[in-house]
Amino acid sequence: WSWFMLVSSRMAGFSVDFSVLLEPLGFVKILEWIFAIFAFATCGGFQGETTLLVSCEGVANKTVTAAFAYPFRLNTAEFSAPDPKACAGTWTDAHLMGNFSSSAQFFVTLAALVFLYCIAALVVYIGYDHVYQQNNKLPLTDLSISVLTAFLWLVSTLVWAKALADIKVSTGPSIIPGIESCKAPGTTCHFVSVSRMGILNVSVVFGLLNVALWGGNAWLVYKDTKLHNQWNRISESP
């Protein structure tokens, strides 16, 4: 809020200077903007499916699939019946287990908010660099947000990584014992495949990269504040 209040009060001082993007503070902000996009896209754009091979009375070697996608409410992903009139009426609706939407949405929502904040910060850096350098409130606000964002990236990435590990288990071969229809007499189920989740692994990597970027960004902003100079004077005093 203080960003917008300070900037709006000095609209007359708007002066475009793209050279700030070549400096560490501006360059890192561009990387944060790009990496937020990748984190959002690699997690939020995923779609996959789990496939089983079912054999039962009246049906032989029929594949059934359960499609799942972001935000990974797996308990809503349903396996279609091999044949509505076969399996001696023993096949009932079967779903995957687990709801990992909170972890996935936390990660993706943070990426979206960071994307928007980076745009706002770049506008300030490019158009109001002189205001940023002269008024200590802007760097202090930037520092606080950078530290908080680094912490949130760390938490959201760890939570999402744990959820991803559980998603892999909940869509893998271990799901068969939990499907009641596969336990019916004369019915056998075999796991066939599950969509590759390499892109989701990449999302975790981007999350960790964002932690490092925002931690480094916090240090760069700190060096631009009076706190850095004050701390140097204190450390150098006898």
Give the pLDDT confidence of 29-82 residue by residue, as tens digits.
Answer: 999 999 999 999 999 999 999 999 998 887 778 888 999 999 999 999 998 887
d(CA 114, CA 151): 13
* pLDDT digits 0-9 by tens, 4-16: 445 455 444 667 7
Residue 221, helix vs strand vs coil: helix
pLDDT reading at 91 higher than 90: no
At residue 208, the pLDDT reads 96
pLDDT reading at 236 higher than 70: no
Per-range mean pLDDT, top range of 72-86, 88-102, 160-174: 160-174
d(CA 27, CA 24): 5
At residue 90, the pLDDT reads 79
Mean pLDDT of the chain, nearest integer:
85
Instruction: Tell me the C-alpha to C-alpha distance, in Å, between residue 206 and each of 92, 148, 230.
Output: 40, 18, 35
Nearest CA-CA partner of 39 in 166, 203, 205:
203
pLDDT reading at 230 higher than 60: no
Kindly list the domain boundaries of the chain, sorted by start residue: 26-231
Strand partners, 63: 53
Banded pLDDT at 227 (limits 50, 70, 90)? low
pLDDT reading at 235 higher than 80: no
d(CA 238, CA 228): 18
d(CA 127, CA 160): 36
pLDDT reading at 131 higher than 90: no
With a pLDDT cut of 90, the percent of the chain lying above it is 52
At residue 12, the pLDDT reads 46
pLDDT reading at 118 higher than 90: yes
What's the pTM? 0.84
Banded pLDDT at 136 (limits 50, 70, 90)? confident
The secondary structure of residue 80, as a DSSP letter, is: P
At residue 14, the pLDDT reads 62
Stretch 108-121: mean pLDDT, rounded? 95
pLDDT reading at 190 higher than 80: yes
At residue 115, the pLDDT reads 96
At residue 201, the pLDDT reads 96
At residue 1, the pLDDT reads 47
At residue 228, the pLDDT reads 55
At residue 143, the pLDDT reads 87
